[in-house]
Copies of this chain bind each other. A is one copy, B any other.
């Protein structure tokens, strides 16, 4: 392994494209390192995995059932498939990740379950729209609504309060639906709200949570957390058949121990949120730049003149933009520093013709 490779080890300092551009945080890394000794049983039948499960149960203060899978696509899709039959439907926000960025994975894993999308401001569900989606049709020519899926934090960087989650869950349950929470950035929401993980999940009525690891600082892996253990029945078979059972499971379970027992999961989220907050505040002060949504987690969405985003990109900055609109998304992560933020702010200022 050449150590002087200039090409591949060149880090991208100027990036806010995604919170998954950051690597593995020290706590996750050390746990992997510690797990890498000698022989360990495979497929999750090992003490690392059991201890990781226990850590998650402790985190949520309940005897939930936990499964570790490779990524968020699989976590959400498998959880949804376990709640649905192919002729069911899933109600979610029309900007939900499962609708916009999974290349049809939920439909694939569930063999055709349809996603019904509803509108709502700031990426959050509007309960009237949800109820309409649930009740609009009850004939067999339309797939039967079976799950309400909500993201915490949302795809647009906003956060539900426990009360809002509770209301959504009550509505769903009153119509016989189950509630799935896409928690790819669940830690960021907890950090924002200052509540316990339990309060913003099962205590509010969530049935299944997909808890994000990668965006929180791990290399690979998400946890599917069933608060109702009955729903978890045979889920291990589903994971296996769908190519989501790691043979050397310890390397995706041990990092959870490192993150949870050390508190890094929350510290990482807090840092990402803090930098996003700073970025939002600073960008909002630049003439011509407007925040598109409240910055409540680790994402900042702005509108600025399209030539500004073009200039910014030309200067080597990485971020998602929305073609022809001047809209841009900047993500902060556990790795983002205040200096990173100040560099970006200066660059935006310059791109906008300030200074």
* In the complex, chain B residues whose CB is within 8 Å of the CB of A74: 243-244
Partner-contacting stretch, out of A28-36, A155-163, A292-300: A28-36
Give 28 pairs: A residue, B residue, CB < 8 Å, sorted on A: A1-B257, A1-B258, A12-B40, A15-B41, A18-B42, A21-B40, A21-B42, A24-B36, A24-B248, A38-B335, A70-B71, A70-B244, A71-B245, A72-B247, A73-B245, A78-B243, A87-B103, A87-B104, A102-B141, A103-B140, A103-B143, A104-B114, A105-B242, A140-B237, A140-B240, A141-B240, A220-B248, A220-B252
Contact B9 A37 (CB under 8 A): yes
* In the complex, chain B residues whose CB is within 8 Å of the CB of A335: 38-39
* In the complex, chain B residues whose CB is within 8 Å of the CB of A144: 234, 237
Q: Does A23 contact B (CB under 8 A)?
A: yes
Contact A240 B103 (CB under 8 A): yes
Q: Does A200 contact B (CB under 8 A)?
A: no
What is the minimal beta-carbon distance from A288 to any residue of chain B, in angstroms?
26
Q: Does A342 contact B (CB under 8 A)?
A: no
Contact B51 A37 (CB under 8 A): no
The residue on B at minimum CB distance from A335 is: B39
Enumerate the 10 nearest inter-chain pairs by beta-carbon distance, A residue then B residue, closest first.
A11-B38, A74-B243, A108-B112, A107-B112, A87-B237, A111-B111, A20-B247, A21-B39, A8-B47, A73-B243
Residues of A185-236 at the interface with B, using a CB-CB cut-off of 8 Å, are 214-215, 219-220, 234, 236
What is the minimal beta-carbon distance from A233 to any residue of chain B, in angstroms?
10
Complex: A105 Cα to B87 Cα, angstroms: 8
Contact A101 B241 (CB under 8 A): no
Partner of A86, one of B104, B113, B261: B104
A71 in contact with B241 given A21-B39, A112-B107, A335-B39 (CB within 8 Å): no
Indicate the member of A3, A141, A238 with the most B CB atoms within 10 Å: A141
Contact A3 B86 (CB under 8 A): no
Indicate the member of A43, A105, A236, A245 with the most B CB atoms within 10 Å: A105
Q: Map CB proximity to B onto A94-138 as digits: 1 under 8 Å, 0 otherwise.
A: 000000111111011111111000000000000000000000000
A interface, by DSSP: helix, strand, loop or mixed? loop
Contact B3 A143 (CB under 8 A): no
Complex: A85 Cα to B118 Cα, angstroms: 27
Q: Map CB proximity to B onto A241-279 as digits: 1 under 8 Å, 0 otherwise.
A: 111111110111010011001100000000000000000
Tallying the copies of this chain within the complex gives 4
A112 in contact with B248 given A36-B24, A234-B87 (CB within 8 Å): no
Contact B23 A38 (CB under 8 A): yes
Q: Does A22 contact B (CB under 8 A)?
A: yes
Q: Does A77 contact B (CB under 8 A)?
A: yes
What is the minimal beta-carbon distance from A73 to any residue of chain B, in angstroms?
4
A48 in contact with B8 given A24-B36, A71-B243, A140-B103 (CB within 8 Å): yes
